[in-house]
Amino acid sequence: MAEFKFEIVKELGVISEGKSGWKRELNLVSWNGAAPKYDVRDWAPGHEKMGKGISMTRDELDALGKLIAALDE
């Protein structure tokens, strides 16, 4: 099984924190040396473990922001 690599290029913010100390975060992450993408997922303290999440380009993040903004209309 091939090892995958990641680098958190920039920590953008914490969305929520669970009782176990894991945090749902928005970060800019490079996966396997590729161009960084915006990433939402749960992280253990110290970023040593991660849960399932979603990565998206800036255009996809902007589209998501517009959809969320439209919920209040």
Digits of tens for pLDDT over the chain (73 positions)? 778 899 999 999 999 999 999 999 999 999 999 999 999 999 999 999 999 999 999 999 999 999 999 998 7
Task: Name the pTM for this structure.
Answer: 0.89
- Domain-embedded: residue 14: yes
Count the residues in the chain.
73
* CA-wise closest residue to 23 among 10, 42, 39: 42
Residue 13 domain boundaries: 6-70
Q: Identify whether the C-beta of residue 28 lies closer than 8 Å to the C-beta of residue 17.
A: no
CATH code for the domain of 36: 2.30.31.70
What local confidence, expressed as pLDDT, does residue 2 receive? Answer: 74
pLDDT score of 72: 81
Report d(CA 25, CA 34) in Å as an integer.
20
